[in-house]
Amino acid sequence: MAVDEREIVAFARRYDPQLFHVDPEAAERSAFGGLVASGWHTTAMMMRMLVDHFLSPASSLGSPGVDEIRWLLPVRPGDVLSLRATVAEARPSRRRPDRGTVHARVETVNQDGRVVMTVNLMFLARRREAGAQPGA
């Protein structure tokens, strides 16, 4: 997913209007040395990639929360992000056996192969009926 300067600025004007996210000149003089995406913009882009490539529309029931986010490296205009998602745990609900909670470790990686963000995210998901075959 390509990171666009106009989108960095538009997102941050609305949701995170700190100078290093909205003002390229001020950002040059900041500790970041240039414009960087809001960390919340990076989580939002991660979510888009998860919805497109990882979550099933048939089973996704939303998310109860996140156990950790680490913003490790700046995300800059022109970066191209991709994901590595690993399921750490998938546990049936005790009260609602038709659903369960999936714990996923998601690494967001830039075009140089460097991990810019890690997120440990939970999802609620519908379960197949016990004994059902994949695709049934």
Binding site for its own copies (CB under 8 A): 11, 14-20, 31-32, 36, 38-40, 43-45, 47-48, 51, 55, 57, 60-71
Instruction: For the CB of residue 120, give the shortest distance to its own copies in the complex, in Å.
Output: 10
Measured from the CB atom, the residue of 1 and 87 that comes closer to its own copies is 1
Measured from the CB atom, the residue of 44 and 87 that comes closer to its own copies is 44
Measured from the CB atom, the residue of 127 and 131 that comes closer to its own copies is 127
Instruction: For the CB of residue 51, give the shortest distance to its own copies in the complex, in Å.
Output: 6
Measured from the CB atom, the residue of 71 and 110 that comes closer to its own copies is 71
Contact in structure between 85 and 54 (CB atoms under 8 Å): yes
Q: Strand 115-126's sheet: what is its strand order?
A: 82-92, 99-109, 115-126
Q: How far is CA 8 from CA 5, 34, 119, in A?
A: 5, 12, 20
Which residue from 42, 41, 118, 44 is spatially nearest to 85, judged by alpha carbons? 118
Q: What pairing do the DSSP bridges indicate for beta strands 99-109 and 115-126? A: antiparallel
Longest dimension (CA), the chain: 61
Instruction: For the CB of residue 133, give the shortest distance to its own copies in the complex, in Å.
Output: 25
Instruction: For the CB of residue 46, give the shortest distance to its own copies in the complex, in Å.
Output: 9
